[in-house]
């Protein structure tokens, strides 16, 4: 087997060791954290913006799709080349180019791992606020594409609230810059438009982000409940008091038992649900808010409210929460995580609905929610080798999302639309809305070669592909 003309051309740009073209190697890029789908025609690892420009031009000459990929941790199929083409992988563009603490900003390449940036400035008392649970692995480039959130989204917002400026390569190789390094910028907010565009408008090659100062004090509380409904009622009650915790997470007892087995963080094994609540700020106010929250928890029949006594204990609780999806791997080989949003006042109702679905489809569903902002992550457990069960999973997931929309919510909170949910877009957008998005896309990506088949419904994104989404294996 020999490399084809395109592979040789790309090797001329990034070197022989920067291109993968053998089928056996391409196979490693046919999946992300959603599922396995299709191989790209070639994988290329650029080292700088100049490389990306040349690669984009080569893809244009060969009229091939161009898809960007970070760490492949995405949960909506966004970084899989579902129509083949050139897959740009950013694992060699992982330099922090500049840290400017005085102005609270950093300039990074897209392949920088989220947590690595926070670690780099931790000793100086700063951090990068968006904290997806996969932050040990996922890249900032990927976070920008998906507009990722995390547990602390509740207080600090999502990725778009922390991106100041972008360098972008358009599909014809043109380089543009959006935003500004300072916090105010005149003109259209193009940065805001690119963040969350999932690689369909341009390829981001450099990102200037805001760095945040670590709070003076942090208190982490664990409220333990014997009834799930009490936990969900507490969520609305806390915010009704006018307190905004930095994070307000819910995990049900089913998930907790797997999490505890994995982390030994001291999570109770016999409860129905817990809330993991964090308050940050000045020493004096934090203490007061923590007391107030504890009182609300108890009013709503919390069995016990614990406070982390040390930084280690706090880290362990968070480790448990952030590795929770993976921990469920101890129970079944596969899970399908949904990412829906509802008004937080309707959490109790939603949980009842999910419990009913479990019975209806004979499935196990674990519940891990960013409860404070109403972002649900029901985890439907299954074994992909069981075809029948897999089909049930897809049906149950669809019902959950539909119910979210009916409750006045959304089809995704933070995992993106990707391939997974493009056909659900009409549930929340009118034909006019979608048409405007299509026109914007055509402006930047006129031939549709950038990450084709993602975000916007294509019509051909049909049932059989969705059916094969989970465990169907590559198509």
Partner 1 sequence: MDSPRGRIYQMIQVEKGRLPLGESFVEHIDLCLDCRACETACPSGVEYGKLVEAARAQIEKHYHRPPLATLLRKLFYYEILPHPRRLRAAGKLLRLYQRSGLEAVLRATHLLSLFPGRLDRVAELAPRMEAPFFFDRLGTTVPAEGLRRFRVALFAGCIANLSFARLNDATVRVLARNGCEVVIVPDQVCCGALHVHAGIRDVARNLARRNIQAFTGRGFDAVISNAAGCGSVLKEYPLLFEEEGKEFHQPAREFSANVRDVTEFLAEIGLTPKLGMMKLRATYQDPCHLGHAQRIRTAPRKLLAAVPGLELIELKEAEVCCGSAGIYNVVHNEMSDRLLEGKMRRIDETRADLVLTANPGCLLQLRAGVKREGRHQRVMHVIELLDEAYRLAG
Q: How far is the CB of 345 from partner 1 (least distance, A)?
A: 32
Contact 258, 225 (CB under 8 A): no
Alpha-carbon distance of 58 to 61, in angstroms, equals 5
Binding mask 218-257 for partner 1 (x = CB under 8 A): ----------------------------------------
Triad 43, 44, 49: Cα angle to 5°: 145
Task: With contacts defined by CB under 8 A, name the span among 7-15, 25-33, 52-60, 79-87 that binds partner 1.
Answer: 25-33
Does 385 bind partner 1 (CB under 8 A)? Our answer is no
Are the CB atoms for 46 and 203 separated by under 8 Å? no
Among 4, 8, 15, 25, binds partner 1 (CB under 8 A): 25
Sole residue written with tokens 């799709």: 65
Residue 99 burial by CB count (10 A; 0-12/13-18/19+): exposed, middle or buried? middle
Which of 50, 329, 426, 446 binds partner 1 (CB under 8 A)? It is 329
Q: Is 338 left (phi over 0), alpha (psi -120 to 50) or beta?
A: beta
CA 121 to chain CA centroid, nearest Å: 23
Shortest reach from residue 106's CB to partner 1, in Å: 19
Q: Which stretch binds partner 1 (CB under 8 A): 218-226, 239-247, 321-329, 415-423?
A: 321-329
The minimum distance between CB 131 and partner 1, in angstroms, equals 17
Which residue's CB is nearer to partner 1, number 17 or number 102?
17
Our finding on whether 299 is near partner 1 (CB under 8 A) is no
**DSSP state for residue 393 in the 8-state scheme:** H
Please answer whether residues 266 and 285 qualify as being in contact, where contact means their C-beta atoms are separated by less than 8 angstroms.
no
Residue 327 in contact with partner 1, rule: CB under 8 A: yes
Q: Closest distance between partner 1 and the C-beta of residue 319, in Å?
A: 9
Q: Nearer to partner 1 by C-beta: 20 or 407?
A: 20
Backbone angles phi, psi at 191, to 5 degrees: -55, -45
Give the shortest CB-403-to-partner 1 separation in angstroms: 29
Q: Which residues, 256 to 275, sit near partner 1 by CB under 8 A? A: 259, 261-263
Closer CB to partner 1, 241 or 330, in the complex:
330
Q: Is 215 in the site for partner 1 (CB under 8 A)?
A: no
Site membership for partner 1, residue 351 (CB under 8 A): no
Specify the stretch interacting with partner 1 by CB under 8 A; choose among 161-169, 235-243, 244-252, 328-336: 328-336
Measured at the CA of 372, the angle between CA 368 and CA 376, to 5 degrees, comes to: 35
Q: CB 183 → partner 1: shortest distance, Å?
A: 32
Tell me how far apart the alpha carbons of residues 379 and 458 are, in angstroms, rounded to a whole number: 27
Q: Report in angstroms how near the CB of residue 329 gets to partner 1 at its nearest.
A: 3
Binders of partner 1 among residues 78 to 137 (CB under 8 A) are 89, 91, 136
**Cβ neighbours, 10 Å, residue 87:** 24
Interaction of residue 383 with partner 1, rule CB under 8 A: no
For residue 198, give Cα distances in angstroms to 19, 31, 81, 114, 269: 23, 16, 13, 17, 39
CA distance 42 to 5: 11
Q: Of 426 and 474, which CB lies nearer to partner 1 in the complex structure? A: 474
Task: Establish if 330 lies at the interface with partner 1 (CB under 8 A).
Answer: yes
DSSP string, 178-209: EE-SSS---S--HHHHHTTSTTSS-EEEEEEE
Number of residues that bind partner 1 (CB under 8 A): 23
> Of 19 and 246, which has the nearer Cβ to partner 1?
19
Provide CB contacts within 8 A for 135, sequence distance 6+: 113, 114, 115, 118, 150, 322
Among 418, 472, 474, 459, smallest CA distance to 79 is for: 418
For partner 1, the binding residue among 27, 282, 311, 436 (CB under 8 A) is 27
Q: Which two tokens stand for residue 351?
A: 């949980």
Q: Does 28 bind partner 1 (CB under 8 A)?
A: yes
Please give the span between the terminal C-alpha atoms of the chain, in angstroms, as a whole number: 23
Interface ranges with partner 1 (CB under 8 A): 20, 22, 24-25, 27-28, 31, 45, 89, 91, 136, 259, 261-263, 323-330
């Amino acid at each position: 087997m020999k490399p084809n003309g395109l592979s040789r051309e790309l090797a001329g740009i990034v070197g022989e060791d920067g291109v993968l073209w053998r089928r056996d190697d391409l196979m490693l890029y046919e999946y992300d954290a959603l599922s396995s789908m299709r191989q790209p025609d070639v994988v290329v690892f650029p080292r700088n913006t100049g490389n990306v420009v040349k690669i984009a031009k080569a893809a244009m000459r060969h009229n091939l799709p161009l898809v960007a990929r970070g760490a492949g941790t995405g949960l909506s199929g966004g970084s899989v080349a579902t129509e083949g083409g050139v897959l740009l992988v950013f694992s060699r563009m992982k330099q922090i180019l500049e840290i400017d603490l005085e102005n609270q900003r950093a300039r990074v390449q897209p392949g920088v791992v989220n947590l690595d940036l926070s670690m780099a400035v931790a000793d100086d008392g700063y951090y990068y606020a968006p904290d997806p649970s996969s932050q040990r692995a996922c890249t900032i480039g990927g976070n920008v594409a998906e507009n990722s959130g995390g547990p602390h989204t509740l207080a600090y917002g999502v990725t778009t609230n922390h991106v100041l400026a972008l360098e972008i390569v358009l599909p014809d190789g043109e380089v543009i810059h959006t935003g500004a390094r300072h916090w105010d910028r005149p003109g259209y907010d193009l940065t805001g438009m690119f963040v969350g565009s999932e690689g369909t408008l341009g390829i981001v090659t450099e990102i200037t982000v805001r760095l945040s100062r670590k709070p003076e004090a942090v208190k982490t509380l664990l409220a333990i409940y014997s009834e799930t409904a009490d936990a969900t009622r507490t969520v609305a009650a806390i915010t009704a008091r006018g307190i905004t915790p930095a994070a307000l997470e819910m995990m049900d007892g089913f998930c907790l038992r797997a999490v505890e087995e994995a982390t030994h963080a001291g999570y109770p094994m016999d409860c129905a649900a817990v809330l993991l609540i964090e308050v940050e700020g000045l020493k004096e106010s934090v203490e007061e808010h923590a007391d107030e929250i504890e009182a609300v928890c108890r009013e709503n029949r919390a069995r016990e409210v614990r406070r982390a006594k040390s930084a280690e204990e706090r880290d362990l609780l968070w480790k448990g929460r952030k590795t929770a999806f993976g921990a469920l791997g101890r129970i079944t080989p596969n899970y399908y995580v949904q990412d829906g949003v509802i008004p937080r006042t309707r959490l109790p109702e939603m949980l009842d609905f999910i419990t009913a679905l479990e019975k209806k489809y004979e499935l196990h569903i674990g519940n891990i929610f960013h409860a404070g902002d109403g972002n649900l992550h029901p985890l439907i457990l299954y074994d992909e080798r069981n075809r029948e069960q897999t089909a049930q999973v897809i049906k149950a997931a669809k019902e959950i999302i539909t119910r979210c929309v009916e409750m006045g919510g959304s089809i995704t909170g933070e995992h993106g639309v990707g391939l997974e949910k493009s056909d659900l877009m009409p549930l929340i957008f009118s034909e006019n809305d979608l048409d405007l998005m299509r026109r914007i896309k055509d402006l930047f990506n006129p031939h549709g070669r950038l990450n084709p088949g993602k975000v916007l419904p294509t019509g051909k994104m049909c049932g059989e592909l969705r059916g094969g989404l989970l465990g169907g294996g590559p198509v």
